[in-house]
Amino acid sequence: MVERLEHEVEGGSVAADGEAVRGRLIEILAEVAATARAPIDLSGEPAVLLMVGVNGTGKTTTIGKIAWHLSKEFGLSVVLAAADTYRAAAAEQLAEWADRAGAELVRSAEGGDPGAVAFDAIAAARARGADVVIVDTAGRLHTQSNLMDELAKVRRVIAKQLPGAPHETLLSIDATTGQNGLRQAKVFAEAAEVDGVVLTKLDGTAKGGIVLAIAAELNIPVKLIGTGEQLEDLRPFDPTDFANALLAE
């Protein structure tokens, strides 16, 4: 990006003064950040969203926020699938979010088969005519190959239950992770065909520059950003706002 900017200044297409250079850099950053940008696909009947990510990135909280927005702002009926059957408090945490969002919850006993939970949730949604199913998955390190294999299996189960699903696979990434976020995105993209990123924890000092690496190297766009703990603290990603914030003094 810097090289491209240098060429444009040297070639005379961008004036060689600080404000013009800064303005053009913002344009270039926004252009890269907007790579492969597309809205979240809710066209399925029901639309199935698969949430993946490493523990502690705010994945379950993000699911709750998405469910709340879809239910309260778009009037859609939502079913949440508690397919994180390993973490003791995961289903309880999701149940709280389901209550707040007015969504239904499908869960199993602790240690149950995650694929079966996803399967049952989609079956329940189809039977009840629900609009959207959001599947939570166990937070896993991208270095745990057995868990990554299981994630691929959950995805296959979903596709078998509803051809074309999941319609959207979203990866939650903590804005403070730096270059490790790129490694996470690479491995998750291989296991789960990631459609987009939800960048969380942008309420702190993090500016989320990892967005640029993920967009440029993996062609995966950021679709949503989380800026706090409240239900409303989730919004669509705006590349120009992001680029301006990245270079803000």
Q: Which domains does the chain have, with CATH numbers?
A: 1-33 (no CATH), 40-246 (3.40.50.300)
Q: Order of strands, edge to edge, in the sheet holding 78-83?
A: 104-106, 78-83, 132-137, 47-53, 168-174, 196-200, 222-226, 234-236
d(CA 62, CA 64): 5
Whole-number pLDDT of residue 206: 63
Residue 120 in tokens: 């049952």
Report d(CA 192, CA 67) in Å as an integer: 21
Tokens matching residue 79? 């079913």
Q: Report the percentage of the chain scoring pLDDT > 70.
A: 96
pLDDT digits (tens, 9 = 90+) for 150-167: 888 999 999 999 999 999
Query: What is residue 228's predicted lDDT score, i.e. its pLDDT?
Result: 82
- Single pTM value for the model: 0.90
Task: Say whether 227 sits in a helix, a strand or coil.
Answer: coil
- Tokens found for residue 6: 């240098």
Inter-CA distances, 179 with 47, 116, 220, Å: 32, 34, 15
